[in-house]
Amino acid sequence: MAARLTAEFLDNWKNEVNPDLQKERETCTFKIEELIHVLDGGKENTIKRKNLENIFFTSYVDLFSFKRRPFMSKSEQYESSVAKSVKVFELRREYNWSEEDFDLINRILNYDFALSLHHTMFIPGIERLATDEQKAKWLPLAQSYQIVGTYAQTELGHGTNLLGLETTATYDRERDEFMINTPRLSSMKWWPGGLGKSCTHAIVLAQLVIDSQNHGMHPFMVQLRSLDDHTPMPGLKLGDIGTKLAANNIDNGFLILNNVRVPRENMLMKNARVTRDGKFIQLSGNKANYATMVLVRVKIISWTKDTLRQAATVSVRYSAVRRQTTLKPGTPEQQVLDFQTQQMKVFPCLAAAYAVHFVASSMMDWYQSAFTEILRGNNSQLAELHAQSAGLKAFLTDMSTGMVETCRRSCGGHGYLQVSGVAENMVSSLALVTIEGENTVLYLQTARYLMKQMANAVSGTKTRGSTAYMNRDLSSYTCPIDSQSDCRNLNKLRELYMQRAHRVVMGVAQRLQMDMESGQPQEAVFNNNMVALTRAAKAHLHLSTIDWYIARVDNLVATCSPALGQVMAELCTFFVLWGIVQEAGDFLESETLGLNQLEWIRQEQLNYLTILRPNAVSLVDAFDMHDETVASALGMFDGNVYQHLYESTKYEPNNRTEVHPSYYKHLRGLLKGGQQSKL
């Protein structure tokens, strides 16, 4: 074993908080516990979370600790994550956890949960797509873990375009079965988590074919592996798709189906069914089949919140304890967090973490309400829900990836280490821009909805919800920012976002109309304006984001203590100002503001760095993330960065021996040869 610092030396650090970090906490102007309860959705939820953390990180800390993960191979990561999943499933039986608890457990375990799709996609898929009789058959098996499942939709050649899926399920009347095939190389299922080596069953999305007639995409329950020895079932070829940039604890897989037969009853028939004689009956609008996809996009917004929380926690805490250079010769080195440039790197991520938290919460509430209506046959909210969930998934994941990378860079060279946590977080966040729809495609889906809404508004039909701003009279607009003090008024700042969105969306709609009137084919008009359509979607989604953020902060100001309300308003104002500066070109081009107003806003943005500085550490402390969830040597609560960095080296495989085997295989010969030549 390589030499280490003595245990006595290291013990001097244990349980002692870095004095710089402690000093930061003493400057807090609000009650952290109050904000923790707000973010958790109530004191009861905080207690539940802490109880879960105690189970995982006290009773089973050796299994669930993050400390060995950065040094594991892909196979070791997968095996460790399967072991964690199995333990979670065992504990579920013991503690009778609900399905709702699993989203929280996923967060606590930092998504190191190989079989997570069993609870996030497979069981919800059965609940939403199966008949009562089918639920009675499949749910007990899934909930008792007699089977473990995934959701197989994406194909090698098709992702977002669901209508283009090539997997087929052809009904055979004689045998009362469906024959499922992936007829081409591009048809194989590709990417579903747990598909490679773990799952025994999958909900497979396929085109239903009866008498050569295609009846669209429908879900089918398919057994993948034997329940006796876990070998693949006849007609199936499946495996792991290989090493990814991150998330290698999950066995994302491929699946080839060659004349695989399943009973007719294995078609999940809540929304449509096939009778014994082959008659297709649509029981309800097939819109409900999209509900699971919409739900996952809403959940991705919540996952995005978690990436921002972790990045903000690590970068703010590290910046508070890291001392580097000085502005005044002869004085001690300063905390990096004191430098304005460092604040501009990390405070936007901190503010965004709160913004996305409130957006995610609002979106989930809306989804639950809308889905209840969909089940009743009322699809009136589905178009807007689809457009907003797709667009916000794209907008917020795009925003977060840039912020997380900036936070990683703010940690200097140490941020390049896997044990920093923020490096792994950064790479993991990149997956969010492509899963459940590549972001550009999603922006365009939102843009299509916006163009329809704008057409309604122009024709005199009132628009509602997220597009209510289209009812405004653009010609009567006057910039509401008359002085620098107006830049602290959230209602006036919101007007800027509304005007920008309205002008940009209207401009694109007018351009489309002109191109159509010139005789261009519709597909050419759409393709030639894709960049403008994407820009319009982003302007709209930026407004939606700050709308929800401001609304939730207004509620907090009205219901919480004055001190907390003030801090939340300050953080929100900074985020809104930062957004205008980031998109200054759009705001100027749309004549939303002038150069003088932009300069006031830019100055106020800098002023808010100073306003937020005393509460920065406390605002990340309020996320109340367990050290094992933060999973960072740089971002632990005690702030003892250098101790944790050095201690992490004991898990590095190269340090298991003082002399690496490569010395005997290669290096010794070179060194001995050089010595002999010299002699």
Answer for the pair 90, 165: CB distance below 8 angstroms, yes or no: no
- Please name which of 463, 593, 631 lies closest in space to residue 540, comparing C-alpha atoms: 463
**The amino acid at 568:** M
Angstrom distances, CA of residue 608 to CA of 36, 605, 622: 23, 5, 20
Cα 238 to Cα 228: distance, rounded to the nearest angstrom:
17
Ordered DSSP codes for 190-207: E--TTTTTT-SEEEEEEE
Q: Is the dihedral of CA 531, 532, 537, 542 positive or negative?
A: positive
Angle between helices 291-321 and 422-429 (to 10 degrees): 150
Neighbours of 503 (CB within 10 A): 20
Strand 201-210 and strand 168-172: the pairing is parallel
Q: What string of H, E and C letters represents the secondary structure of 319-369?
A: HHHCECCCCCCCCCCCEHHHCHHHHHHHHHHHHHHHHHHHHHHHHHHHHHH
Digit-coded pLDDT (tens) for 605-620: 999 999 999 999 999 9
pLDDT of residue 627: 97
pLDDT in tens, 327-348: 888 899 999 999 999 999 999 9
Here the tokens at position 664 are: 């005997």
Please say if the pLDDT value at position 577 is more than 80. yes
Which pLDDT does position 288 carry in this prediction? Answer: 60
For residue 41, the tally of other CB atoms under 10 A from its CB is: 12
Measure CA 372 to chain center.
24
Write down the pLDDT at residue 328. Answer: 86
pLDDT score of 1: 32
Contact yes or no for 230/209 (Cβ under 8 A): no
Contact 429, 403 (CB under 8 A): no
Tell me the three state secondary structure of residue 222.
strand
Element spanning 101, H or E: helix 101-108
- Those residues with Cβ within 8 angstroms of residue 663's Cβ, 6 or more apart along the chain or in another chain: none
**What was the pLDDT predicted at 3?**
35
- Mean pLDDT over 245-262 rounds to 96
Residues with a known catalytic role: 436
Tell me the two tokens of residue 485.
């003090």
Q: Can you tell me whether residue 231 is helix, strand or coil?
A: coil
Measured from the Cβ of residue 332, the count of other Cβ atoms closer than 10 Å reads: 8
Please identify which residue in the block is written with the tokens 């508070």: 320
Could you read off the pLDDT of 426-436 as tens digits, one per residue?
999 999 999 88
In this structure, are residues 202 and 214 in contact, taking their beta carbons and an 8 Å threshold? no
Instruction: Answer yes or no: is pLDDT of 678 > 80.
Output: no
Confidence band, pLDDT 50/70/90 cuts, at residue 551: very high
**Crossing angle of helices 595-612 and 340-375, rounded to 10°:** 100
> Could you tell me which residues are beta bridge partners of residue 238?
255
More confident of the two residues 295 and 651: 651
**β-strands 149-152, 201-210: how paired?**
parallel
CA angle 430, 434, 437 (to 5 degrees): 155
What ranges make up the beta strands (E) of 530-654?
none
Residues 6+ apart with CB under 8 A from 43: 37
**In one letter, which amino acid is 290?**
Y
pLDDT at 13: 40
